[in-house]
Each structure stands twice: as C-alpha cells, then as structure tokens.
Amino acid sequence: MFSWFKKRDPKVYPEDEMGNALYAHCSDPAKLPDKVALWFDTYFDTEADADAVAKYLEGRRIEVVRDHDDEPDEDLGAWNIDFEIPIRARHIDLKMLNDEMTRLVADFNGKIASCLMMQWDEDE
C-alpha cells in the first residue's frame, strides 16, 4: 500500500522503554551500530550513597563524574553522578543494563533523572 511505510519489527524493537529508545536511535535494523552508550544522570540525598555507587561503578572501570548541587531540585538529591556505559545495541542487552543500573541506584536511595542512548565513540 504505502511503500514508504515500514512496519516496526517487534523482535528487534519490542514495545517497551528500551525498544522505543533503540527504534528512535536507529529505525533500520540493518544499520544498527555494534555498540551504543547508555548515559545515566543520577542523584542521591547523601554523600555516602553517592560514594558507594561511584565506588561500585569505578570498580567496573566505568568513568564517573561526581558533582554536588548547592541548590538541589527538591525531587532529586544534592549529590549527582553521571556515567555512560558502552553496550551492544541489542534490546536484551540494553534492557538488562538499564534494569541493573535502576536497581543499583534504587538500592542506595538514588533517583535516575535521565537515561539517554547515544552513539558510542570507540576513541573516548
């Protein structure tokens, strides 16, 4: 009927948060990159919780950027940790990593302000 209309393949792009993010990043399964990066922006109420998460991530050789906000948003904590993790651009891998990081942050009373999928640059 419409040659320009492509049906989204639910095996590659399931109808969930990670499937939608992967589809938005690259809607053509043949052009999916090998790796992408998931970038997390997280907040914690206490320095001890932020330190514990940073230590865990650094133990996995993940670069962490820490910051303290003198005027924190009332819904988020004052201690901020940003990090990005390279991951295969496949739904199951993205979902498992997102679930793992969500549990990690929640275990230390933190909140994920945002999680973005970005192009991975091997040279970084």
For the chain (124 residues), the mean pLDDT of every run of 10, in chain order, is 64 87 87 93 96 97 91 84 95 95 97 92 68
Q: Sketch out the chain's domains with CATH numbers.
A: 33-119 (3.30.70.970)
Helix segments in the chain, DSSP class H: 17-25, 47-59, 91-107
- pLDDT at residue 90, as a whole number: 93
- pLDDT at residue 112, as a whole number: 96
Burial class (CB in 10 A: 0-12, 13-18, 19+), 46: middle
- pLDDT at residue 3, as a whole number: 46
- pLDDT at residue 123, as a whole number: 64
